[in-house]
């Protein structure tokens, strides 16, 4: 199955692959010519007693063949790696594009450590498949056939021995192959699990330390590494065993040719030159088959990684049901309506949202509240179009959302997430994500409105200070302010705000609060609220519970109902 898909990949570079195989075949044929010249030189010098003047032309030709063979081998090696590089580049590109198209909901569901491992190590393992295994597969069939073409006319017996012993090597490889494949697959899975776990531990180190679990985690890591070591050794054991068997078969078969040829030489049934030629050809005959055996395991590792790569590439993208695209009139206020929306995550049985209906009028501020797992983030993901409703529909000014191109829609929505991500780059570049074509003045104006300007000016290089991985570390509050500045710069009419839960110092809290208030003014806002102050100020509150809107209204009337909202607010200590 995987092999079939890998072959399909190979078709995209078939010209380069054919060239690689052609060069390899050329090098194989030159080996025959080389053996022929060598046999002739030895024959002339030792049996016919000629001196250097009789063979120097032959020796020169021999040297020429050797050099030519080396050049062919070099070029075919370069070609093979070019093939692999092209495929690797292409696979990485497609994987990244597909992951981006699948969106944050899919990536969050997966282990990001595993994905990183796949993008780096996995794609790298595919290289051996294309650079080594695949060309060798063709050469293992072609070169021995070509050599047989020389051997048969010279000597039928030797030809027959070669002909019947050759299939033994692929046969044994096939027998060992199934076993090896299970093992390499296991090895690949353990490696992926290890990377995923390692990233988890690194990201959650603070939590682990606080709860005194870092030692226990170290033990788990040790256990996983040990498993990886064991599976790797298992793979190596099979690889060595199969190499031994293949070498053994090749040696025995060569010896068989040597003995039969030597016996006939003793009884003068075959001329010396031909006997020596056959003897020199025998190892060249088995060489491509033996090499196939050695590359087989590396190829297997590539195929195992490829299995997972294709699995991701074949994950269907969120369906687009667009039938005739509609563009929103610029500058119009946005009226968003959820009408009986259903959504179930592919790996879950219960729907995350069931029959959810609500309106967002232009300029309105709606707070989504509910216990964790109620479906608040799912509503936000639907609004941002990371996922599409599976039932019901979302409309904007009466137009179904799926008829508006996603790129265009996203220009109308700004998101201030709970944990804003800062990419490696300067502060200005990070704010500019809101609107990439913005000038520095506009970036600064947005930062001023977000209340971030003063702390940015206090940084060593101001707006040019590098942040993100490898740059300076900003506090959680400062990152929030940058995210708000991004949203100001984007100036979208609809704002999705996922409120931060982490407690900040009162001064920063106040700064963020003011920045958010001025950001929300005049915009339609959907806020996933975690603070009572935000909830009090919302025009309307939607209470989600188990994927359904269970209560809706304003703070006072909801409190009076003594329902889910009342319990939530009591838990926050808002009412006694």
How far from 388 is each of 47, 305, 323, 327, 432, CA to CA, in Å?
85, 30, 15, 18, 28
CA pair distance 309, 303, nearest whole angstrom = 10
Q: Are strands 548-553 and 540-545 parallel, antiparallel or unpaired?
A: antiparallel
3-state secondary structure of 359: strand
Q: Whats the size of the chain, residue-wise?
A: 576
Cβ 111 to ligand ADP shortest distance, Å: 12
Choose between 348 and 461: whose C-beta lies nearer to ligand ADP: 348
Cβ 402 to ligand ADP shortest distance, Å: 20
Name the DSSP letter for residue 438: -
Residue 553, C-beta contacts closer than 8 angstroms, at least 6 positions apart = 540, 541
Choose between 390 and 457: whose C-beta lies nearer to ligand ADP: 390
Cβ 376 to ligand ADP shortest distance, Å: 3
Cβ 378 to ligand ADP shortest distance, Å: 3
CA pair distance 90, 70, nearest whole angstrom = 30
Q: Exposed (0-12), middle (13-18) or buried (19+): which is 167, by Cβ within 10 Å?
A: exposed
Choose between 26 and 417: whose C-beta lies nearer to ligand ADP: 417
Cβ 207 to ligand ADP shortest distance, Å: 18
Residue 300, C-beta contacts closer than 8 angstroms, at least 6 positions apart = 177, 180, 181, 184
Contacts with ligand ADP, residue ranges (CB under 6 A): 105, 108-109, 345, 347-348, 352, 370, 372-378
CA pair distance 301, 190, nearest whole angstrom = 13
Choose between 378 and 430: whose C-beta lies nearer to ligand ADP: 378
3-state secondary structure of 339: strand
CA pair distance 13, 530, nearest whole angstrom = 54
Choose between 347 and 441: whose C-beta lies nearer to ligand ADP: 347
Residue 8, both tokens:
């399909």
* Contact call for residues 224 and 194 (beta carbons, < 8 A): yes
Cβ 551 to ligand ADP shortest distance, Å: 15
Cβ 520 to ligand ADP shortest distance, Å: 20
Choose between 103 and 405: whose C-beta lies nearer to ligand ADP: 103
Cβ 349 to ligand ADP shortest distance, Å: 10
How far from 98 is each of 50, 118, 545, CA to CA, in Å?
70, 14, 33
Torsion, CA 454, CA 458, CA 461, CA 464, rounded to 10:
-20
Dihedral class, residue 297 (left if φ above 0, else alpha if ψ from -120 to 50, else beta) = alpha
Choose between 450 and 543: whose C-beta lies nearer to ligand ADP: 543
3-state secondary structure of 134: helix
Choose between 302 and 351: whose C-beta lies nearer to ligand ADP: 351
Choose between 88 and 376: whose C-beta lies nearer to ligand ADP: 376
Q: Which residue has the tokens 């330390």?
A: 209
Choose between 28 and 351: whose C-beta lies nearer to ligand ADP: 351
3-state secondary structure of 55: helix
Cβ 192 to ligand ADP shortest distance, Å: 19
CA pair distance 466, 552, nearest whole angstrom = 44
Choose between 155 and 499: whose C-beta lies nearer to ligand ADP: 499
Cβ 199 to ligand ADP shortest distance, Å: 17
Cβ 196 to ligand ADP shortest distance, Å: 16
């Amino acid at each position: 199955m995987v092999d079939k898909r890998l072959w399909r990949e190979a078709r995209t570079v078939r010209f380069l692959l054919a060239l690689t195989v052609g060069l390899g075949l050329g090098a194989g044929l030159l080996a025959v010519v080389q053996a022929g010249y060598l046999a002739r030189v030895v024959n002339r010098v030792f049996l016919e007693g000629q001196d250097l003047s009789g063979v120097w032309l032959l020796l020169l030709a021999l040297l020429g063949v050797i050099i030519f063979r080396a050049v062919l081998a070099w070029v075919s090696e370069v070609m093979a790696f070019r093939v692999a590089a092209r495929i690797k580049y292409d696979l990485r590109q497609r994987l990244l594009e597909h992951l981006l198209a699948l969106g944050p909901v899919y990536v969050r569901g997966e282990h990001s450590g595993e994905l990183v491992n796949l993008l780096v190590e996995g794609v790298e393992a595919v290289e051996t498949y294309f650079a080594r295994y695949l060309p060798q597969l063709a050469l293992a069939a072609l070169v021995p056939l070509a050599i047989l073409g020389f051997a048969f006319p010279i000597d039928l017996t030797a030809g027959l021995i070669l002909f019947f012993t050759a299939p033994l090597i692929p046969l044994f490889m096939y027998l060992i192959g199934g076993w090896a494949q299970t093992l390499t697959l296991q090895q690949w899975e353990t490696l992926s699990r290890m990377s995923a776990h390692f990233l988890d531990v690194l990201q959650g180190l603070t939590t682990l330390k606080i709860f005194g679990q870092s030692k226990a985690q170290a033990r788990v890591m040790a256990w996983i590494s040990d498993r990886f070591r064991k599976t790797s050794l298992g793979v190596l054991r099979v690889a060595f065993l199969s190499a031994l068997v293949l070498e053994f078969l090749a040696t025995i078969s060569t010896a068989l040719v040597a003995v039969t040829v030597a016996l006939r030489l003793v009884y003068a049934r075959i001329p010396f030159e031909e006997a020596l030629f056959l003897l020199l050809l025998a190892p060249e005959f088995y060489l491509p088959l033996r090499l196939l055996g050695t590359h087989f395991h590396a190829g297997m590792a590539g195929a195992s990684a490829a299995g997972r790569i294709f699995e991701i590439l074949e994950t269907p993208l969120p369906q687009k049901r667009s039938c005739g695209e509609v563009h929103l009139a610029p500058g119009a206020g946005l009226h968003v309506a959820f009408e009986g929306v259903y959504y179930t995550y592919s790996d879950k049985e219960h729907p995350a949202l069931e029959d959810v209906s609500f309106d967002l009028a232009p300029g309105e501020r709606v707070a989504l509240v509910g216990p964790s797992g109620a479906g608040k983030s799912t509503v936000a993901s639907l609004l941002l179009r990371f996922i599409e409703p599976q039932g019901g529909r979302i409309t904007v000014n009466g137009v179904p959302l799926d008829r508006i191109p996603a790129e265009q829609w996203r220009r109308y929505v700004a998101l201030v997430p709970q944990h804003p991500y800062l990419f490696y780059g300067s502060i200005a570049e990070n704010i500019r994500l809101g609107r990439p074509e913005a000038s520095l003045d506009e970036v600064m104006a947005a930062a001023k409105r977000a209340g971030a300007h003063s702390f940015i000016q206090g940084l060593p290089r101001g707006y040019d200070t590098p942040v993100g991985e490898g740059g300076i570390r900003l506090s959680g509050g400062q990152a929030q302010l940058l995210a708000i500045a991004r949203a100001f710069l984007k100036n979208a009419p609809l704002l999705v705000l996922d409120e931060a839960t982490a407690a900040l110092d009162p001064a920063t809290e106040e700064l963020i609060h003011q920045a958010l208030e001025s950001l929300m003014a005049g915009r339609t806002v959907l806020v996933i609220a975690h603070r009572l102050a935000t909830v009090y100020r919302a025009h309307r509150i939607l209470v989600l519970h188990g994927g359904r809107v269970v209560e809706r209204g304003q703070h006072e009337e909801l409190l009076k109902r003594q329902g889910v909202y009342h319990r939530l607010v009591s838990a926050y200590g808002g009412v006694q």
